[in-house]
Amino acid sequence: MSAERWWIAEAPVTFTWDLWYACNYRCSYCWWEMGGLWETLAKQHKLLPPAEWDAVWTRIYDRCGEARIEVLGGEPLLYPKFGELLRLLSAKHRLQVTTNLSPEPAQLERLLDPLSPERVHFNASFHPQFIGLQPFLERTQVLQDRGFDPGVLFVTWPPLLPRLEEYRREFVSRGYPFSAMIFQGDWEGRTYPEAFTPAEKAMIEGVMNHPTLKSAEVRYRLDRDAVIGKLCHAGRVYANVKANGDVYRCGQDAFGRRPMGNLFDPGFELLDAPKPCPYRQCSCLEFKYLDELLQAPQAAA
């Protein structure tokens, strides 16, 4: 894997990991917030010393080699001893952390001190309900000054859409890749993304900029094309880990299905072959593990 922009190239094995279910923000468009799920989910998460998580992920390293771990939450940076956890895990795996970047700049600097941009990448989610543009930019600047190359994420919640282009310009002019996360949920009695108007869809399409997946993103994420029956490598080269260690083939599988295993089980293994997708629609960017995209990524550009 090239050291340059390694977080964009597909890794041999990728895990998304809900580290825990706690956050200092309560964004109106957050899945956990819309579902009133914070309290229920928080009963599942484990507050473990970094060395215990390191032992679990070292076992994955011994079995699968270096993986890319996409660390999610809740807000990962607020997890106890998160800096130490990042330092330990990044010695074996490459980490991509999605964060609201809420800690003060001085705290961020301390967190970054022992980390290398070769091993850790940050996706900074801009949540204007809870932080202004200027304080957010101060924090992304800390990352940039230290050689990290953060991307900025923004949720296309209908009340925020009128400022989408203005925000995109602000970030791109400072050298930050800017990506839209498609809002999925209800707003003023309508269900999105289906309820976006053609003009809103065009605006969102205009900021979709995944280097290889843009047309697939429009098809599966915005237009919600069906994936049922298509061969998918989720579970083989990718899995979704919950905060209690349960592992699912993908995020869609986590809604009411039995996990394929648990990270704390020493015998845990990924699937050895792709399987057909049992779901009508695919959330997030996980459709990229469809056989049609993984086998011929150039066809999706």
Binder to ligand SF4 among 124, 227, 237, 243 (CB under 6 A)?
227
Written in H, E and C, the secondary structure of 243-296 is: CCCEEECCCHHHCCCCCCEECCCCCCCCCCCCEECCCCCCCCCHHHHEHHHHCC
Binder to ligand SF4 among 111, 234, 294, 300 (CB under 6 A)?
234
Token pair for residue 32? 């956990």
Determine if 286 is a binding residue for ligand SF4 (CB under 6 A): yes
Q: Which is nearer to ligand SF4, 141 or 283 (CB)?
A: 283
Binder to ligand SF4 among 180, 290, 294, 300 (CB under 6 A)?
290
Separation between Cα atoms, residue 100 and residue 42, nearest integer Å: 18
* Binding segment toward ligand SF4, per CB under 6 A, in 178-186, 200-208, 249-257, 265-273: 249-257
Q: Which is nearer to ligand SF4, 122 or 289 (CB)?
A: 289
- How many residues belong to the site for ligand SF4 (CB under 6 A)? 13
* Binding segment toward ligand SF4, per CB under 6 A, in 48-56, 131-139, 254-262, 278-286: 278-286
Sheet holding 261-262, edge to edge: 178-181, 151-155, 120-125, 94-99, 68-72, 14-18, 238-241, 246-248, 261-262
* Binding segment toward ligand SF4, per CB under 6 A, in 41-49, 168-176, 189-197, 284-292: 284-292
Degrees, nearest 5: CA angle 219-224-225? 65
Separation between Cα atoms, residue 271 and residue 223, nearest integer Å: 29
List residues binding ligand SF4 (CB under 6 A).
Answer: 227, 232, 234, 249-250, 252, 277, 279, 282, 286-287, 289-290
